[in-house]
Structure 1
């Protein structure tokens, strides 16, 4: 009888560990490298895309003005629902020309194979000043806080939803790089019930609403050699969200802040991951 109980305990322990492994967070390390030729070629492919499909618009609310570009699905039909993607630019794209915010993570949606296979609405707002500001918390870890304009984005998104009733409100996605990755996190913390998933690349983290983020689809991507937005910030966010079984943390061991996006520009990896996610 004692032996039977011991065996039962071992079986239960094994099953528990197996289930926890299967449904736990995913943490991966990639040995990806980017040489100068790959860097130039991947950026050239994306930068050569015609951006005329992104229509120029502007959102105005009291003293806030946010220029933005809007891309509609290739085969837009009122009989079908489409996801909405909001892309956020890095700090080098700050301005009000309604042009410069179309950085690579906005332009990837124009690649012919992506535009055909992953049809969606895309909003690319431009900020005239920093959308996320950085400071250190009590543990001396840099954290990000949203600007006033980021709060206004929620109304901008609502306006676009009203204008295009075939937007799938269960599939609204956020994606950004550097300051834009921080802003994507800020917006998810502000309104976690609004968004289905976020891809945050080389960001400074936002810890302001961790409890609500414990069940959100989050993909953190960071270069281990990033000396601009510290890699340690993403490590800390991943650790703080240890209960989130929908979280993925991808470390690119050999990449830094400036080349971290290059491997994702000519693949479908990010669109595919996003499109599988729903609220």
Structure 2
């Protein structure tokens, strides 16, 4: 297993204490790609309970992970993970892609106890179009609006969910969906990790102080890298924004560096609304 990592940090100063831009020279070889995915795929997913949420004519299958021990007098974060377009369906299985499964790793489950929700969409959760500036942007489906009601129901049903620690994470279509939710209801969420996504510019003034981590591969030929660059530029005064560029990675291997580390859980758990 081989990682070649050189970390270069570049701080962009539009104003004092402005956002941070980071470039990584990580290279992922074939063996690393296969081994990291194999590790995640070998995890037993039975701890993720199978549930379904219905709202009017919309049905959302979802999986639900409860924190270890789950002490009633202790508050736990709620992490919501979103799948990419290859996982669309209603089997309530396929949405458990790597960013959902990382929470099952023993060292993560022990060190970062939380509730995890992994919804599955029966059609695209977000749709893309080209805006007047020639940038591909994302727009949420009706299912995303229904998801806000699921989150509300979970907070009511599990009162030890920490309402100031609700986190969003997604890859590709899922990362765009996470951005859609943050724009729709910024007061609900404490932080977002959006990976290889198509941006949402619909509510920039309301997310200008939110905890946002954008991750994108420069060689992405599916969801253009320029979209994340544009979002970063439009949020130039958000001191809570990090933009990580992987100079050597593409759409298909961008998640690999995060599958066997605690970097994402550690970052999320440090954020509050």
Normalised-by-shorter TM-score class: over 0.9
Superposition map of 1:248-267 within 5 A: 248-267=242-261
**Would you say 1:149 and 2:136 are equivalent positions?**
no
Superposition map of 1:236-255 within 5 A: 236-255=230-249
Provide the rounded CA distance (Å) in 2 between the counterparts of 1:158 and 1:226.
35
**Would you say 1:30 and 2:30 are equivalent positions?**
no
More helix, by proportion: 1
SS at match of 1:258: coil
Count of residues paired in the alignment: 262
Provide the rounded CA distance (Å) in 1 between the counterparts of 2:18 and 2:55.
42
* Equivalence for 2:172: 178
| Change beyond 3 A, Cα 1:133–1:19 | closer
Provide the rounded CA distance (Å) in 2 between the counterparts of 1:161 and 1:70.
13
Match of 2:222 among 228, 235, 240: 228
Deviation at 1:162, TM superposition (A): 1.0
**Would you say 1:216 and 2:222 are equivalent positions?**
no
TM-score scaled by length of structure 1: 0.92
SS at match of 1:233: helix
In the TM superposition, what whole-angstrom CA distance separates every residue of 1:144-185 from its partner, at most 9, and x where no partner exists? 000000000010011111111100000000000000000000
**Would you say 1:200 and 2:194 are equivalent positions?**
yes
Provide the rounded CA distance (Å) in 2 between the counterparts of 1:62 and 1:177.
28
Deviation at 1:38, TM superposition (A): 0.2
**Would you say 1:100 and 2:101 are equivalent positions?**
no
SS at match of 1:158: helix
Deviation at 1:20, TM superposition (A): 4.4
**Would you say 1:71 and 2:65 are equivalent positions?**
yes
Residue pair 2:13, 2:19 contacting (<8 A) in 1 also? no
Following TM superposition, the consecutive aligned residue runs of length 4 or more in structure 1 with deviations greater than 2 angstroms are 17-21
SS at match of 1:44: helix
Provide the rounded CA distance (Å) in 2 between the counterparts of 1:75 and 1:248.
33
Provide the rounded CA distance (Å) in 2 between the counterparts of 1:19 and 1:238.
12
**Would you say 1:166 and 2:154 are equivalent positions?**
no
SS at match of 2:27: coil
Q: Which has the larger radius of gyration?
A: 1
In the TM superposition, what whole-angstrom CA distance separates every residue of 1:113-166 from its partner, at most 9, and x where no partner exists? 000000000000000000010000000100000000000001001111111110
SS at match of 1:219: strand
CA RMSD of aligned residues (A): 1.2
**Would you say 1:134 and 2:128 are equivalent positions?**
yes
* Equivalence for 1:11: none
Superposition map of 1:114-133 within 5 A: 114-133=108-127
| Change beyond 3 A, Cα 1:30–1:19 | closer
Structure 2: which 5+ residue stretches go unaligned? 1-11
SS at match of 1:244: coil
TM-score scaled by length of structure 2: 0.95
Deviation at 1:250, TM superposition (A): 0.1
SS at match of 1:106: helix
* Equivalence for 1:48: 42
Provide the rounded CA distance (Å) in 2 between the counterparts of 1:246 and 1:72.
29
Residue pair 2:14, 2:236 contacting (<8 A) in 1 also? no
Residue pair 2:49, 2:64 contacting (<8 A) in 1 also? yes
